[in-house]
Amino acid sequence: MANKHKQHADDVNDLLREFGNNVYRQRTRGEGNPISQEKLAEKAGLHRTYIGAVERGEKNLTLFNICKIALALGIQPADLMEFEEETINAISEKL
């Protein structure tokens, strides 16, 4: 049973890291104007350290905060939810 819980935690951490990478890429994207964590936090109504923790995959966000970050980036929330196929496959195999 302990292995099952560890694997679940690993899967969650993988998703959070990928989500954080998506936020980072959108924030620093080359085609637009990159913005700082501080500016993103201000626009989203969140704290700068929270944005940093999100980008490092340390926060399990609420749907509300996902929307706030996406809107502050000028994108749809779904744009932040694009995950690597192997991550999704690893999770779906366990369902």
- Domains, the chain, with CATH or none: 2-92 (1.10.260.40)
Of 23, 45, 48, 44, nearest in space to 34 by CA: 23
Q: Quick: pLDDT tens for 47-90.
A: 999 999 999 999 999 999 999 999 999 999 999 998 888 878 87
Q: Quick: pLDDT tens for 34-46.
A: 999 999 999 999 9
Question: Dihedral of CA 51/54/58/61: which sign?
Answer: positive
Give me the pLDDT at residue 6, please: 66
Core vs surface per residue 76-92: b (16+ CB within 10 A) or e:
eeeebeebeeeeeeebe
What's the pTM value of the predicted model, to 2 decimals? 0.84
Query: What gap in Å lies between CA 52 and CA 31, rounded to an integer?
Result: 22
